[in-house]
C-alpha cells in the first residue's frame, strides 16, 4: 500500500512551496525518520522526513511549485532488500510495483531526453532528467552508475563536462542527434550566453517586499560616522576572558544591538509604526539582524535585547548564523521585530542607504571599518572609522529625531564601557 507524503502547512500566509532538493532517490529504500527532501517557501526551508519504512517514489521534480497539502512523494511499504542497509538504493527489480497513480505521475515527468533511438525508456532520476534537459544532453548516450543502471545526477554532470556532450543538443531540441554544423552553431551559443530559471519563492518575496517598502513608506536616510577605536581596544583586552567564560567571541554586532536599544529608549518615535490610521508605539526591543544566505536575505529577530547580556546576544547571533547556513530557520525566528540592523561592511561596503523592513520605521546600516585621518583635539590622527546610515520612515520619524537617534548610537559605540556596565 502506498502512503502519500504531502506538503505541510508552514504558516498561515503561505499557500505554496517549492521542492528544493531530493535527498533520497526514486525507488530507494528508506527508513522512518530519514530526511527525504527539502521544501522552500517564501520565508524558510523545511526538511520532510519519512514516517515509515519502504520504497520511495517521487511525485514531483526538483523546482516544482506545489500547493500546501499537495502530495510530493509516496512510500510503498516493504522489507529492506537483502544485504542492503537503509542508505542503499533498492534494485530496480526488487522494488514493489508502483500504483497506477504513481505510474501516471512518472509518465508525465518524462521529457524528450528520456528515450533512446530504439524507443526504449532510459532509467534516470528526476534530477538527472532536469539537468540533461537544461544542458541538451541525450540520456541514451549516458552510462548510468546507479542501481539497475539508473542514470544519476553525477552521471549527467560528468557527461556535461565531456566534449561529446555538445553533439547531443539536437536530441533535446527535437532535431535529431546529429545536427548540421549550422544548427549546432545556432543552438549551443544561446544556451551558454543566457541562463533562464524561475525565481525562488524566497527571491520573489524579497522583491515584492522591497518594492512595497519603497512605495508605501517615505524613506529618508541620514548619515554619520563613528570612531571604532574604543570598541576595538576593549575587545582586545577582554576577548580571552570572554571566550573562556562564555564559549563565544565578543563581536561588534552585540555592541550595536545594545547601542540601538539605548537609542530606541531615548527616541521612542523610532520604535513606532503605522498600522492603518493608527500609530503604534512599541515598548519592547526585538531587533532584527539581516543575514545574507545563498538563497537570499533573511532577518531573524533577537528577542528582548534590553534584557540580554552581551554573551547572550553573541550566542544568539551564532545560533542564527548556523540556522541560516544549514537552512534550519523557522518561521517564528523571522516574525516580529521593531528595528533592523544590517552589516554591509562584511562584504566590503563603504556606504549605502538601507531599505526599511516594513512595518518597522527604522533600519541601521553598518559599513566597513577603514583607517582614515580625523581631527582629534586639534590634531590630525589616523583612526578606524565606520560610516553609519539610518534609513527611517519620515511619516513617523522627524528629521531631528532621526539625527538624535543616530548621534546616540554613535555616542554609545565610542563609549562602549558605559554599555557593558549597564
Active site residues: 394, 398
Tell me how long the chain is: 422
| CA dihedral sign of residues 50, 56, 62, 64 | negative
- Give the cell for residue 96: 514493489
Grid coordinates belonging to 51: 514516517
Please tell me the distance from the alpha carbon of residue 347 to that of residue 297, in angstroms, as a whole number: 14
Q: Sign of the C-alpha dihedral, residues 133, 134, 139, 141?
A: positive
What is the DSSP code (8-state) at residue 347? G
Beta bridge partners of 392: 220, 362
Show the DSSP H helices in 219-252 as ranges.
229-246
Contact 264, 271 (CB under 8 A): yes
- Give the span between the Cα atoms of 354 and 4, in whole angstroms: 45
CA dihedral sign, ordered 148, 149, 151, 154: positive
Q: What does each C-alpha distance from 101 to 26, 94, 104, 202, 370 come to in angstroms?
A: 15, 20, 5, 31, 63
Amino acid at each position: 500500500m502506498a502512503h502519500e507524503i504531502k506538503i505541510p502547512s508552514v504558516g498561515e500566509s503561505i499557500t505554496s512551496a517549492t521542492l528544493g532538493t531530493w535527498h533520497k532517490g526514486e525507488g530507494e529504500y528508506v527508513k522512518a525518520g530519514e530526511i527525504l527532501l527539502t521544501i522552500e517557501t517564501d520565508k524558510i526551508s523545511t526538511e520532510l522526513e519519512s514516517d515509515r519504512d519502504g520504497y520511495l517514489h517521487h511525485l514531483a521534480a526538483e523546482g516544482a511549485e506545489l500547493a500546501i497539502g499537495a502530495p510530493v512523494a509516496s512510500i510503498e511499504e516493504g522489507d529492506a532488500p537483502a544485504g542492503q542497509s537503509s542508505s542503499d538504493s533498492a534494485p530496480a527489480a526488487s522494488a514493489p510495483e508502483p500504483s497506477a497513480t504513481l505510474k501516471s505521475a512518472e509518465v508525465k515527468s518524462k521529457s524528450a531526453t528520456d528515450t533512446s533511438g530504439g524507443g526504449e525508456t532510459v532509467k534516470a532520476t528526476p534530477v538527472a532528467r532536469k539537468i540533461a534537459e537544461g544542458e541538451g544532453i541525450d540520456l541514451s548516450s549516458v552510462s548510468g552508475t546507479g542501481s539497475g543502471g539508473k542514470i544519476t545526477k553525477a552521471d549527467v554532470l560528468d557527461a556535461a563536462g565531456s566534449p561529446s556532450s555538445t553533439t547531443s543538443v539536437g536530441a533535446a531540441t527535437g532535431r535529431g542527434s546529429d545536427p548540421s554544423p549550422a544548427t549546432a552553431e545556432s543552438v549551443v551559443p544561446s544556451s551558454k550566453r543566457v541562463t533562464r530559471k524561475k525565481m525562488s519563492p524566497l527571491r520573489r518575496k524579497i522583491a515584492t517586499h522591497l518594492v512595497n517598502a519603497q512605495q508605501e513608506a517615505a524613506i529618508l536616510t541620514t548619515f554619520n560616522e563613528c570612531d571604532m577605536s574604543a570598541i576595538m581596544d576593549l575587545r582586545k583586552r577582554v576577548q580571552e576572558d570572554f571566550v573562556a567564560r562564555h564559549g563565544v567571541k565578543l563581536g561588534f554586532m552585540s555592541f550595536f544591538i545594545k547601542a540601538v536599544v539605548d537609542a530606541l529608549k531615548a527616541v521612542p518615535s523610532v520604535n513606532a509604526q503605522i498600522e492603518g490610521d493608527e500609530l503604534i508605539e512599541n515598548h519592547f526591543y526585538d531587533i532584527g539582524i539581516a543575514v545574507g544566505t545563498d538563497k537570499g536575505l533573511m532577518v531573524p529577530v533577537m528577542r528582548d535585547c534590553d534584557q540580554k547580556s552581551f554573551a547572550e546576544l553573541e550566542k544568539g547571533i551564532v545560533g542564527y548564523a548556523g540556522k541560516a547556513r544549514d537552512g534550519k530557520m523557522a518561521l517564528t525566528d523571522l516574525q516580529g521585530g521593531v528595528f533592523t540592523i544590517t552589516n554591509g561592511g562584511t562584504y566590503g561596503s563603504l556606504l549605502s542607504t538601507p531599505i526599511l523592513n516594513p512595518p518597522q520605521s527604522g533600519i541601521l546600516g553598518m559599513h566597513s571599518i577603514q583607517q582614515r585621518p580625523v581631527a582629534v583635539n586639534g590634531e590630525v590622527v589616523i583612526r578606524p572609522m565606520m560610516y553609519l546610515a539610518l534609513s527611517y520612515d519620515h511619516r513617523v520619524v522627524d528629521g531631528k529625531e532621526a539625527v538624535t537617534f543616530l548621534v546616540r548610537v554613535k555616542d554609545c559605540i565610542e563609549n562602549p564601557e558605559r554599555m557593558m556596565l549597564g
